[in-house]
Amino acid sequence: MKYRRVLSVSIVLMILLVINTGCNNQKQVNEGQTVINNNENQKTQKKMIDDLKQQVVKFEEENKKLNEQIDAIDNDSVNQDKAENKDGDLIYREDKYQDIVGVKSYESDCSLMMFPYSDSEIIGTSPKEVRVISTGTNNLDEKWALVEDLGSITWNRYGYIKIEGLSDQVEGKFDYDSLDVEMKIGDIKIGDMKEKVISQYGTDYAVIKDGNGFLIAYNDEEGNGLDITLDSRLSRVMGVRTNKEGYLTQDGFGVGDNALKVCNHYKAIYKYDFTEALYFDLGNMYMMMIQIDTEELNEASKITKIDIFPDWNGIFNTDNQE
Q: What is the pLDDT of residues 235-245, one digit of tens each?
A: 889 999 999 99
- Please check whether the domain covering 93-167 is classified as CATH 2.30.30.170: yes
Closest to 146 measured CA to CA, from 129, 167, 163, 126: 163
Local structure of 7: helix, strand or coil? helix
The CA distance from 106 to 169, in Å, is 9
CATH architecture of 184-317: 3-Layer(aba) Sandwich (3.40)
Chain centroid to Cα 95, Å, comes to 16
Give me the residue spans of the domains in the chain: 93-167, 184-317
Neighbour-count burial of 142, counting CB atoms closer than 10 A to its CB (0-12 exposed, 13-18 middle, 19+ buried) = middle
State if pTM tops 0.85: no
Instruction: Please give the mean pLDDT across all residues of the chain.
Output: 82
Local structure of 193: helix, strand or coil? strand
Q: Is the pLDDT assigned to residue 276 strictly greater than 50? A: yes
DSSP β-bridge partners for residue 104: 130
> What pLDDT is attached to residue 27?
52
Read off the pLDDT of residues 120-179 as tens digits, 9 standing for 90 and up: 999 988 998 888 889 999 989 999 999 988 777 666 689 999 999 898 777 666 778 788
Residue with the larger pLDDT of the pair 84 and 151: 151
The CA distance from 87 to 92, in Å, is 14
> What pLDDT is attached to residue 11?
55
